[in-house]
Structure formats: structure tokens, C-alpha cells
């Protein structure tokens, strides 16, 4: 074991010493020469300055795009703004890709109508309960997606109006479609729950 010790410099001129335990002297020496050329040290003061600038930039962009102020603790708000900013950068492309051709096909008058139409075209038939459950779940998912893509403008408007930092943080792992489904179609399950229950009973008896 050998210790590498090297002084690195921030772009503002401040420097600090970094140390690293390496497996032998050669490795330590090569770490030192790498760090001298490539280690990017940012001192706490510069890091804070960057953070504040980034925050100001996000505030400006949000204002320009008509996005509302977020609520939560200062830490939550900052994190949520970062997440929202990232989403907004990709949203236009997402809308474009979903609107190309799919929207017209996905328009339907009511869920009931659409659901009935689907059932008529391909009736749910399962060999066992598990299979039926799976078919009903995937059908629900299909209905939700079509409902979403058929009303994309409305869904996006709803997304942009979200002011709770918690929303942006808790949905950060979701894909864009999943996030919009969660927001725009979460009530759909309740609406159709009775219908599914009726179908389930009917299929059980068949």
C-alpha cells in the first residue's frame, strides 16, 4: 500500500490537497500524475456559486415557459425544479412522437364505449383466473394509454400545473408516459372497477 498525495487547484485559484490509498508506489505515482492534469477540483465557494446560478437559470426558464412556482421545503423545491426542468426539455419531443398519427386513432367518445368495443372485437377469454386477471390488466393499460394519447394536450397542461415538489420527486423514476398515466389516468381504475368485476364474474361462470 502507498499513499498518493497531490495538490489540486480550482479554476478560481484556490487549492486543496487530496490523498488516496493505492495498492503500491507505482500506482500512487501514476495517480498523482493523472490528478495533476485531469482532476477537476471545484472549491466549496465555487460550487455554491454554480448552484445559485443554476437555480436562477431554472427560475428564469420556468417563468418564460409559464410554469408555476413550486411548493415544499427549499431543498425539495430545488430538487423538484431540477427534475421538472429535465422533463420539460424532453416533453416537446415526446408530444411530437405521440401525436404523429396515434392521436386520431386513439380518440374515442367514452371509456365505456371503447371498452365495449374492445370486448366485442376480442372478448376476454382465459383458461384460469390468473390469465383472465392478466388480460384485464393489460386491457386496462391499453385503455389508459389510448385515453392519454387521445387527450395529450390536456394531460400535458395538467402536468405543467403541478406545484407540489413531492410530485416531481416521487415520479422521477417513471417514464414520461408512466408519469402522465399516473397523473391523468389514475382515476380510471375506479371508474372501470365495477365493469371489470362484472366481467370477472361473467368469465368465472362461463
Q: Using the rule CB under 5 A, which residue among 22, 46, 55, 118 binds Zn ion?
A: 46
Q: Quick one: 14 or 195, whose CB is closer to Zn ion?
A: 14
> Please, what is the minimum distance in Å from the beta carbon of residue 15 to Zn ion?
9
**10 or 102, CB closer to Zn ion?**
10
CB of 86 within 8 A of CB of 126? Answer: no
Q: Which is nearer to Zn ion, 12 or 198 (CB)?
A: 12
Contact of 195 with 118, CB cutoff 8 Å = no
Q: CA 134 from chain center: how many Å?
A: 25
Per CB under 5 A, the segment of 9-17, 63-71, 149-157, 188-196 that binds Zn ion is 9-17
Work out how close the CB of 35 gets to Zn ion at its nearest, in angstroms, rounded to a whole number: 17
Task: Give the span between the Cα atoms of 139 and 114, in whole angstroms.
Answer: 11
8 makes contact with Zn ion (CB under 5 A): no
Residue of 10, 32, 88, 103 that binds Zn ion (CB under 5 A)? 10
CB of 12: closest distance to Zn ion in angstroms?
A: 3
Residues that bind Zn ion (CB under 5 A): 10, 12, 14, 43, 46
Amino acid at each position: 500500500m502507498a499513499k498518493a498525495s497531490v495538490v489540486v487547484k480550482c479554476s478560481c485559484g484556490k487549492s486543496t490537497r487530496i490523498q488516496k490509498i493505492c495498492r503500491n508506489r507505482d500506482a500512487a505515482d501514476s495517480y498523482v500524475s493523472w490528478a495533476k492534469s485531469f482532476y477537476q477540483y471545484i472549491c466549496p465557494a465555487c460550487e455554491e456559486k454554480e448552484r445559485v446560478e443554476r437555480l436562477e437559470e431554472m427560475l428564469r426558464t420556468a417563468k418564460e415557459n409559464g410554469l408555476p412556482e413550486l411548493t415544499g421545503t427549499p431543498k425539495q423545491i430545488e430538487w423538484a425544479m431540477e427534475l421538472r426542468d429535465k422533463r420539460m426539455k424532453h416533453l416537446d419531443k415526446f408530444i411530437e412522437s405521440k401525436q404523429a398519427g396515434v392521436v386520431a386513432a386513439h380518440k374515442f367518445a367514452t371509456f365505456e364505449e371503447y371498452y365495449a368495443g374492445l370486448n366485442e372485437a376480442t372478448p376476454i377469454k382465459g383458461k384460469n383466473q390468473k390469465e383472465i386477471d392478466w388480460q384485464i390488466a393489460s386491457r386496462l393499460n391499453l385503455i389508459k394509454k389510448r385515453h392519454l394519447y387521445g387527450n395529450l394536450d390536456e394531460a400535458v397542461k395538467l402536468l405543467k400545473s403541478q406545484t407540489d415538489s413531492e410530485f416531481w420527486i416521487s415520479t422521477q423514476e417513471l417514464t414520461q408516459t408512466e408519469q402522465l398515466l399516473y397523473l391523468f389516468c389514475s382515476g380510471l381504475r375506479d371508474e372501470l372497477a365495477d365493469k371489470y368485476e362484472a366481467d370477472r364474474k361473467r368469465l368465472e361462470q362461463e
